Structure 1
Amino acid sequence: MGDKKADLVLKNCNLLSVYTREIISNIQIAIVKERIAYVGPDASHTVGPKTIVIDVKGKYVGPGFADPHLHIDQFVLPSEFAKKALLCGVTSLFSDPIDIVSVAGYRGFQEFLKLGENLPIRIFQVVPGGLPVDKKFSSSKSLTLSQEKSAIKHPHVLGMGEVFSWTKVTLREPKTMKSLSTMLECDCIINGHTAGASEKKLNAYVSSGVLSCHEPINFDQVLERLRLGMWIMIREGSIRRDLKEIIPRVLSHGTYQNRLMFCSDGLDPLDISKFGHIDHCIRESVKLGLKPIDAITMASKNNFDYYNMAKDLGGIAPGKLADILIFDDMKSFKPNKVFVGGKLVVSNGQIVTPIKKKIIPTWIKNTVKLKNFSKNDFLIKSKKKDVVANTIYMQTEIITKIGSAELHSKDGYVSASLDSDIWKVAAFDRIHGKNKHAIGFLENFEADIGAFASTWSFHENDMIVIGSNDSDMAVASNYLIKNQGGLVAVKSGKILASLPLQLGGIISTDSFENVSSSFEKINNVIVDSGSKFSRPHLIPLFLPFLALPSVRILSGGIVDVKKRSYILPIN
């Protein structure tokens, strides 16, 4: 009513209204503290002597974007990721910190919550819903039922993250069902992961209270899930890009769009720098025929409708939190200015608010609990002169199948064969300090290096070491032990490139720019050495990933995922 004067007024706005899906000209917006007080043709009654008035001169004004599902416990600290996300107009992140929990349990979850607080971006968290992936093989840490109940009391914890082992639901695995019940009783959101599920299995999964999925890779999968009342997060990220398969069919079918969102599922430093974030999803969707206002609605309002947060966020209206973007045009969708809670955080493509790095406790930077290796630690014994090895054949960086190779032994030990593109691969439990490990063979890597090692692997976080010779495998392993995590490539005893990941062995404490440079270098070194794969960092990342067939390696052994049985490295 103007009895109290506004702190900020934006005038001459072309308002992108996600509530009516129209662009309204000559709008004025009054903001008091962190909330919007007035939206209409004349906010002069809210202007006082201390009110800041900004004439946006007919530019487009819309709500902040959201990424409804991503993993920010990767590559860089939340404070570093926030800088890049804000420049892309993303003011809210919905984080599933499954990997930091798999490394450091509930204590790590609590620490990660702290790392996401008091930043000029809104970070909401969920309790990981996928650990352990398969308790028969997995050694990852997870939360107990009582810890889950404690976690969801935190104001920034909204519910449960992707329950990606959907067979745990259809088979009614007791711990999973108790977790789901707890979430439902507390009126929490439960995110889904339905890759491979359909018909009665999908019905059963949805009936358990899981109401979203980011896994559909084509329109038929989207439609089946929408018809069952699910919300769909169309993924466009560093692992998969699904927009082009889905958006055109959404338009030709005339699908109701109120349950469609964009998500990244995680972005590597090069992709967010080159393409952007949710702004990239909007640009690509508009190119594919989606109306700009509909794309903005999917990037903002629909996310907060899904998370039951529409009373506070998702659009520009009185009473809402003032997360506001100002665009020069409706083509680039790169915001010129970004406000979060009424505070200017981005102006002219620059962060204009201080973002402080948090103090990282020492304990979470000491998670590689292994003793130094020698080349003898990578030996595979055999009394036979000629052996048939069961190999992990890399079809892509992610997809594997069981292979077979004839190898020779010398002095009772079987060696890798670089000439035949047969490598050794080892997995070490670095978390529990028990020296649990497995060694096998990997095929179809084709790189002229001695070893490639990583402490970061999805949801298991074993240290994975791929090598053409035992000496370089030991050098790579010892480098990661000394530096407490990261990725490293070695040849002839020399470090070719490395990416330090000091926090939990999965996140770097360095600047975004340094991490991006190191990440690019280690991939380029391996690709330039002859690897047929363009993203070799994904190989150790997915090698222990039990949610995908066909064959994986963990510290407990080589696993046939479908048969749920171990495979011997040599017959």
Structure 2
Amino acid sequence: MKASSLASMISSLNSVAMGKSKADVVLKNCRLVNVFSREIIPQIHVAIKKDRIAYVGKDASHTVGEKTGVIDLQDRYITPGFVDSHVHIDQYVLPSELAKKSLLSGTTALFADPIDIVSVCGYRGFKEFVKMTQRLPIRVYHVIPGGLPVDRKFSHARTLTKKEELKGLDIENVVGLGEVFSWTKVTTRDPNTMKSISNVLETNGIINGHTAGASDKKLNAYIASGIFSCHEPIDYDQVLERLRLGMWVMMREGSIRRDLDKILPSTLSHKTYLDRLMFCTDGVNPKDIVDYGMIDHCIRKSISIGMDPIDAITIASRNSFEYYGMSKDLGAIAPGKLADILVFDDLEKIKPNKVFVGGKLMVDNNSLVVDTPRTIIPDWMRKTVKTGIKFGEKDFVIPCKENIAQALIIKLDTEIITKMDQEELQVIDGNVVTSYDKDVWKVAAIDRTYGTGKKSVAFLRNFGADVGAFGCTQSFHENDMIIVGSNEKDMAFVANTLTKMQGGMLVAKNGNILSKFSLPLAGLISSLSFEKTLDEYASIDSKLIETGCKFKNPHLIPLFLPFLALPEIRILYTGVVDVKNRRYLKILNR
């Protein structure tokens, strides 16, 4: 959403405040949740000129003219719009569809890190994705992905050159560098990483952090390098260590992790300062948006733990904009600010009755009253799944000349965490086969970005579903096509079908599709409405759980299998990687 500059508005705002000219909109009889003074002020009137606030006080009658729209809020509460301080919106749902759910929840601003769009589509994709969000009725700010490549030795994701990073920083609503999650690159002063950080600091951009596992001198070195936030602390001790060193902490409550329960009780009991705390989701899947919400859920959760509602609302609004250096324009209801205002019947349910963005009514009586522009997806972004070959059963054979093979196994500890394991497996007709009794599957990683036809095939334990194969074109942050299968024929079928679909998730058995989730935008995002996307998304997990998968969120398994930032063992199309020791591993002990 395009915003006016304060500089261009000072004369007209001044004039309205003095009663010399008239407001466009006046909200009267409000109970103002003041995030500066930590109080709720009754009988407040707010006068708005264009997209900014001109007056906040007890009597705005001097700002009302014949053409002024006056809305009597009848003693309802008003708060600033909520902010998701760190979120990945290049997953599952079109930005235009996400905007609708954001508005209904009171989230009027998103700080997005489109790392996976970049890993598939490079700088061209980054520019196009930013463009997709510029006309939306919410505020979307972007960062240049700071996490690519995850590990230069193994990663094959597309990245931005230093020149492209600098060009990207000049794009409207691009505010800095996204999470630098390979923190060892910082503590070892990797030249490419340090150059990116230096370039952003020289442009006064913000840099988001990712410090999971860092402490003491490593954490100090990271912060001293100009990275002042982190969304990875999972308990109070980690939060406190970062706050003591001057960091801002984004408390995460999203689909991958929910950390408020372990952070807030001690934060409140110790009366820790809250002014450097923010809320973030780090990404919310369609089902969780419906079941929980977005930043509104963070506020409700915080209040249920014992936080004062005013403090929770302040964390959800003012704090984020202060961190991002935008407090001149956003984060509060005060003269000069952009008029992003939420209206509530009460401060318990945290469900907005009305939502204004830039003084324009977007939600009224809990319903959208604004159209979101149709997303135009360039044809080239619908043709990103390039496997290079048509797959057959032989492509998933693991050859062996013995009768029994001692095989390396990727053991699923959770949907996300893996462990290294070993197993004896049978060899049939020169092919090491899966084992239903031992719950050992084949897993393949396939290059679907460059069209080389390259792949690797290994073994996976603990998947558990009674299906032929499960495949996905989305994975963090390499975006290999991942296929988990009980037999080679279904693995080939799924790989070929996903290529034909140009992206998505697929469950199949005996050459029949059991469940399908189409993701044609870069192989990452649905082109359907939110409701239809939710149906397809939910069908994948439902089918896998119904057929015996051991995990609550099986769709996460292929997303994380190539993720080089987590232990212990990962698979890429170039091979199986021991993450800690940074080496490729042999699949069979010959």
Between the aligned partners of 2:446 and 2:365, the Cα distance in structure 1 is: 47
Q: Does structure 2 retain, via aligned residues, the 8 Å contact 1:552–1:558?
A: yes
Write the deviation string for residues 440-496 of structure 1: whole angstroms up to 9, x where unpaired.
000011110010000000110000000000011111111100010000000111100
Q: Secondary structure at the match of 2:588?
A: coil
Q: Secondary structure at the match of 1:162?
A: strand
Q: Does structure 1 retain, via aligned residues, the 8 Å contact 2:544–2:554?
A: yes
What residue number does 2:108 align with? 91
What residue number does 1:249 align with? 266
1:122 aligns with 2:136: no
- Which of 143, 160, 168 is 2:177 aligned to? 160
1:409 aligns with 2:427: yes
Letter in 1 for 2:454: K
Equivalent residue runs for 1:221-236 within 5 Å:
221-236=238-253
Letter in 2 for 1:40: G
Between the aligned partners of 1:172 and 1:37, the Cα distance in structure 2 is: 48
What residue number does 2:128 align with? 111
Q: Secondary structure at the match of 2:74?
A: coil
Q: Secondary structure at the match of 2:120?
A: helix
TM-score, scaled to structure 2:
0.96
Between the aligned partners of 1:475 and 1:154, the Cα distance in structure 2 is: 42
Q: Secondary structure at the match of 1:257?
A: coil
Between the aligned partners of 1:385 and 1:362, the Cα distance in structure 2 is: 49
Between the aligned partners of 2:274 and 2:429, the Cα distance in structure 1 is: 66
What residue number does 1:316 align with? 333
Which runs of 5 or more residues in structure 2 are unaligned? 1-17
- Which of 458, 461, 466 is 1:448 aligned to? 466
1:424 aligns with 2:429: no
What residue number does 2:507 align with? 489
Write the deviation string for residues 136-158 of structure 1: whole angstroms up to 9, x where unpaired.
11100010100010010112000
Equivalent residue runs for 1:523-562 within 5 Å:
523-562=541-580
1:19 aligns with 2:36: yes
State how many pairs are aligned: 571
Q: Secondary structure at the match of 1:445?
A: coil
Between the aligned partners of 2:300 and 2:429, the Cα distance in structure 1 is: 61
Between the aligned partners of 1:357 and 1:96, the Cα distance in structure 2 is: 22
1:32 aligns with 2:49: yes
- Which of 188, 191, 194 is 1:171 aligned to? 188
Between the aligned partners of 2:462 and 2:109, the Cα distance in structure 1 is: 41
TM-score, scaled to structure 1:
1.00
What residue number does 1:361 align with? 378
- Which of 366, 388, 395 is 1:377 aligned to? 395
Letter in 1 for 2:414: T
Q: Does structure 1 retain, via aligned residues, the 8 Å contact 2:253–2:298?
A: yes
Write the deviation string for residues 11-35 of structure 1: whole angstroms up to 9, x where unpaired.
1000000011100000000000000
Q: Give me the CA root mean square deviation.
A: 0.6
Identity score, percent: 60
Which runs of 5 or more residues in structure 1 are unaligned? none
Letter in 1 for 2:259: D
- Which of 134, 149, 152 is 2:166 aligned to? 149
Between the aligned partners of 2:157 and 2:195, the Cα distance in structure 1 is: 20
What residue number does 1:199 align with? 216
What residue number does 1:214 align with? 231
Write the deviation string for residues 68-112 of structure 1: whole angstroms up to 9, x where unpaired.
000000001110100001100000000000000000000000010
1:81 aligns with 2:98: yes
Between the aligned partners of 1:475 and 1:155, the Cα distance in structure 2 is: 43
Q: Does structure 2 retain, via aligned residues, the 8 Å contact 1:391–1:441?
A: yes
Q: Does structure 1 retain, via aligned residues, the 8 Å contact 2:382–2:523?
A: yes
Q: Secondary structure at the match of 2:385?
A: coil
Q: Does structure 1 retain, via aligned residues, the 8 Å contact 2:135–2:373?
A: no
Q: Does structure 2 retain, via aligned residues, the 8 Å contact 1:77–1:115?
A: no
What residue number does 1:473 align with? 491
1:6 aligns with 2:23: yes
Between the aligned partners of 1:359 and 1:560, the Cα distance in structure 2 is: 41
Letter in 1 for 2:467: I
